Amino acid sequence: MYLETGNTGTAGELAITKGSDTGNRNFQIKVTYFTCNSLAKAPAGCTQYFTGKSGNFQSYNHQGGQLLQSMNYNNCFRQEEGYCNIQVREAVGSTIDAFFLSAIADQAETNCMLVSRITLASPISGSFCGDVLSPIAADTIPSVITSSPGASFQVGVQSLTGVISGKTGFNLDYNQVPCA
């Protein structure tokens, strides 16, 4: 998670609040400071930042099997030289459902604005929700989603503010597409 703190004053504060559940919690926290002109620094507005031509990214707590509520952040990808688009797809072989953001099981939804969703500027659609990553409503087969030419290399995440039960979030693979 990248947090922008500015270059004056204190570096910020992290507070972890757990609910009334008495279960065990484990945290692994590493703090690294990047200078304002560092090539490793995430662009402004990016909560997660990925480098490389391909890789994997997941919603927070996907491994715990529960989509977190009230999330609103951007996953950003450093555009590699000679690459013009980014593609995302459901990760294969995941033991937890690789894409389950909203109530309709086993299909994509038509209107994602009122449910938990990811956003990616693509020629077909901008928001993706449901239980299958696809721009086609009622689709039961996951699709590869390619960004629009010239679009930013980022995937937004928005989840509902109320209780979200039984939704696992997402586990997606990405790869950058060479310019034509």
Q: Given this model, what pLDDT does residue 6 score?
A: 65
Return the half-sphere exposure (C-beta side, CA atoms, 13 A cut-off) of residue 75.
Answer: 24
Q: Given this model, what pLDDT does residue 87 score?
A: 96
Residue 153 has pLDDT above 90, yes or no: yes
Contact 104, 169 (CB under 8 A): no
Q: What letter does residue 53 receive in the DSSP assignment? A: S
104's tokens = 């309709």
| β-bridge mates for residue 127, sequence order | 119
Q: Given this model, what pLDDT does residue 103 score?
A: 67
**Mean pLDDT score of the chain:** 85
Sign of the Cα pseudo-torsion (143, 136, 129, 99, in order): negative
Residue 96 confidence class, pLDDT cut points 50, 70, 90: confident
User: Domain residues of the chain, as ranges?
Assistant: 48-178
Contact 133, 51 (CB under 8 A): no
Highest mean pLDDT, choosing among 16-20, 91-95, 155-159, 160-164:
155-159
- Written as one letter, the residue type at 164 is I
Rounded to an integer, what distance in angstroms lies between the CA atom of residue 56 and that of residue 51? 10
Q: What letter does residue 43 receive in the DSSP assignment? A: P
Residue 110 has pLDDT above 70, yes or no: no
Contact 84, 177 (CB under 8 A): yes
Overall average pLDDT of the 109-127 stretch: 83
CATH number of 48-178: 2.60.120.290
Rounded to an integer, what distance in angstroms lies between the CA atom of residue 111 and that of residue 117? 10
Helix (H) or strand (E) holding 137: none
Write down the residue that tokens 């590699």 correspond to.
Answer: 80
Contact 71, 60 (CB under 8 A): yes
